[in-house]
Amino acid sequence: MTIHFEGAAIIGVGLLGASLGLALKKRNTVSHITGVGRRPASLEIARARGAVDSIATDAVAGATGADLVVIATPARLVAPMLDLVLPVCAAGALIIDVASTKGAICAHARQVCPKPRRFIGCHPMAGAESYGPENGRADLFTDRVCLVEKDDELDPDARIRACALWRSCGARVVDLDVHAHDAILARTSHAPHVAAVALALVADMCGARRDMIGNGFLDTTRIALSRPEIWRDICLENREVLRDVLAEIRGRLSDFENLLAAADGPGIETYFEAGAEARMRVMGS
């Protein structure tokens, strides 16, 4: 399906917002993009790089008349931003977000959006430890999964257009079950980030040096470099589920600690084998 939008507003021109702007411009999917944000310097970078055509620091002004609104703010700001843009965007506008939590956001959308709902929750799995419009790339979404909300109350045309938008950027669209999303992502994204930070802190506390660091540390702590305020919001938005997951992890670590205390070599080997098998199942290999 070929789609085109006359005027888009991208609210939040960080890595994801700027990358989406670059991807849409490269494919001529949008005639004009207005970048909206709080920091004029970031907006100017996005405009200079060609991610947006014009800029605004006021979301209402930037979204007025837009037939596509992308809310690419931190997760905690998506709901209040939706409240601001709903009354001013074009009739029949498609509104999407890119946050990595979905439960509270989509529940709010169900309350405030006219039916059938044209706000479609989206989660492109394309984050990185780099951030800001200076790191935006038109190919960021190429061959990446984008989770797109599927719900009976959604406007069918709006959902088709949302899926087509992401496919036009090279993404592979996967149906998103909002109820399962936050539970799964807490285990595959949010808790791993917390674990990466904990590992980095523990290594720093013992005075570890670069020449004593192996690939295991590099692989598991890379994401600790990500933007703290973004992850603060993600963890707070999904805090109840994340607390349960951290308890699960503590349980598995306690199991291993008990094996160590008992010097149970076969048990330790079985523990590692179970982890390898679990990873292969999760990865489908």
CATH 1.10.3660.10 fits 181-283, yes or no: yes
Nearest to 70 by CA among 42, 93, 104: 93
**Is the pLDDT confidence value at 209 over 90?**
no
Largest distance between two CA atoms of the chain? 68
Our CA angle for 55, 57, 61, nearest 5°, is 80
Average confidence score pLDDT of the chain: 92
Which pLDDT band holds residue 183 (cuts at 50, 70, 90)? very high
Mean pLDDT of 83-106: 94
Is the CB of residue 85 less than 8 Å from the CB of residue 118?
A: no
pTM of the shown model: 0.84
Domain boundaries, the chain: 5-176, 181-283
What pLDDT, in 10s, does the model give residues 218-238? 888 888 888 888 899 899 989
The fold of the 5-176 domain, in CATH, is Rossmann fold (3.40.50)
Mean pLDDT of 5-12: 96
Question: Which residues have CB under 8 Å from 148's CB, separation 6+?
Answer: 120, 121, 122, 159, 162, 163, 166, 173, 174, 175, 176
Output the pLDDT for position 195.
95
What pLDDT, in 10s, does the model give residues 196-208? 999 999 988 887 7
The single residue listed with the structure tokens 């409240």 is 83
Q: Would you say the CATH fold of 181-283 matches that of 5-176?
A: no
Element housing 199 (H / E):
helix 191-205
**Is the pLDDT confidence value at 32 over 80?**
yes
DSSP 3-state of 182: helix
Which tokens belong to 71?
């809310």
